Amino acid sequence: MSLPNEPTNSDELPEITAVFGDPAASYWLKTCLCSALSRDPVDAANDAEVLAQLLERRCRAILSRHHAP
């Protein structure tokens, strides 16, 4: 599993249909994808990028508290 903002090769990402069929994919992810597919794709991608950045910041803050000397 990569940390947020590590480069991801788009060839490594599954297709959307594969995510929906994957029992290991979270319900949250499937719900977000389903919602995003009904939206304008540019708006959905922009919002997803903002969400990813916000979650990354939160994740790094939490991890830094747990790994601080």
Residue 64, domain member (yes or no): yes
Band (pLDDT 50/70/90 cuts) for residue 12 is: confident
Is residue 18 assigned to a domain? no
Q: Per residue in 15-59, pLDDT tens?
A: 999 999 999 999 999 999 999 999 999 999 999 999 999 999 999
Please report whether residue 33 resides in a domain: no
In a domain, 49, yes or no: yes
pTM to 2 decimals?
0.72
In a domain, 32, yes or no: no
Cβ contact 17:69 at 8 Å: no
- The answer to whether position 54 is within a domain reads yes
Give CA–CA dist 2/21, Å, rounded: 22
Looking at the 3D structure of the chain, how many domains does it have?
A: 1
Inside any domain, residue 24? no
* Residue 3: pLDDT band with limits 50, 70, 90: very low
44: containing domain: 40-69
Does residue 53 fall inside a structural domain? yes
- Residue 1: predicted pLDDT: 38
Structure token pair of residue 24 = 């290991």
